[in-house]
Structure 1
């Protein structure tokens, strides 16, 4: 498939400290395709999107607001619906991910080697938020690999790239961080092979606004199992 345009969905909730820098860094990257950024303000109360108003032009950068706050999953689903490109990825506004990795993410798709590409994090130095954070991420990856007879090293990565139509077809229901496990489980359940490329990563701590909790890891394990059991029931019909 020949792709014509890349959409990058950036979900935002109270990111006044980082949004401007994140968006400027993203816009400075030379992308392999014409690119639009869809910023989805998920009911922020800190005025963060006012800080990037001068960068919003309705074409290269578009701003969508939804009220009240509905969670990352709902913000992303709104971004998928608003996207105008035929290839889509996600970039959080918290500076944990480097937008310079996005062209690397695109390359296997543009070369015809894959349809779905994940940016896989390696944990060391600034990437290791905590022992339990790393262990939890590895556990979720092993669990998904075992359930779907695949091999993945990073399910919870933000940098996931797939055709826009595919993002819409998987019909995401999770409103929060469960979206990462849900989209992975549903892609694997429909037989998609996920291509991984290494990316850089700098984890922020609680004092910097880290929002994910251990309960999100437990939810991810349950979501993956539920999708796997659902596929088994359908195959028996």
Structure 2
């Protein structure tokens, strides 16, 4: 088994090198590759890739302009060569050393899709509205698809590469999280959930998600739930 770790990057000069180091220093139970797609960074991030690309486990693709997280991940999935893929942002909110824990249910034959589920407390959630929005979007998915998942917006989504490609995700921005989950639930797949550690960064540290992304996520879930089968 080979795992492709997909890392979308946009203006992460302060965190990218640490994020890459953290990903590559993990003791994985299988072969891995790190696929980085830079989504038009303008803050000097691109100057870092000359050193990063010297590692044979790393592949980098530079997009000509910023098109959104969903577009970056779609590009990464297209060039990935692993049997499975997982998304790992470069913002240091997630811990790559917990990825093997998400792999284990797959290796044990217990799951096809695995989500890393976050818990929120005073030490890891920068605002009440952010947590409330995440819970609201997740609740909408549970009601619409008559299921129970704990964290729709988690970055850590592990699944077969071919499954991800077949979902044909078209949401360019953060709405891709809702589209991925909506399409998976629509197919009757239920993610296996594994608890993970999380530390949300603040607006000042570069947090990009806004309330508009939550509204878009609910719209996408409604669209996927009511969409006619072709």
Measured on the aligned residues, the alpha-carbon RMSD in Å equals 1.2
Give the aligned partner of residue 33 of structure 2.
Answer: 36
Structure 1 unpaired stretches of 5+: none
Contact 2:49/2:60 (CA < 8 Å) preserved in 1? no
Alpha-carbon offset, residue 52 of structure 1: 4.1
CA distance in 2, matches of 1:145, 1:85: 30
Quote the residue 2:149 is aligned against: 152
Say whether the 8 Å CA contact 2:20–2:90 is kept in structure 1: yes
Work out whether 1:88 is the aligned partner of 2:85: yes
Q: Size of the alignment, in residue pairs? A: 230
Normalising by structure 2, report the TM-score.
Answer: 0.97
Residues 58 and 77 of structure 1, relative CA distance in 2, 3 Å threshold: farther
1:34-81 CA distances to partner (integer Å, 9 max, x unpaired)? 000001011111221322422313730111111111111100000000
1:219 to 199, 209, 216: 216
1:67 aligns with 2:64: yes
Write out aligned runs for 1:77-156 (5 A). Answer: 77-156=74-153
Q: Secondary structure at the residue paired with 2:100?
A: helix
Equivalent residue, structure 2, for 1:174: 171
TM, length-normalised to structure 1: 0.94
Return the match for 1:198 from 176, 180, 195: 195
- Match in the other structure for 2:73: 76
Does residue 9 of structure 1 match 2:2? no
Runs (4 or more) in structure 1 with deviation over 3 Å come to none
SS at match of 1:180: helix
Q: Contact 2:117/2:150 (CA < 8 Å) preserved in 1?
A: yes
Distance in 2 (alpha carbons) for counterparts of 1:209 and 1:146 = 32
Aligned to 2:185: 188
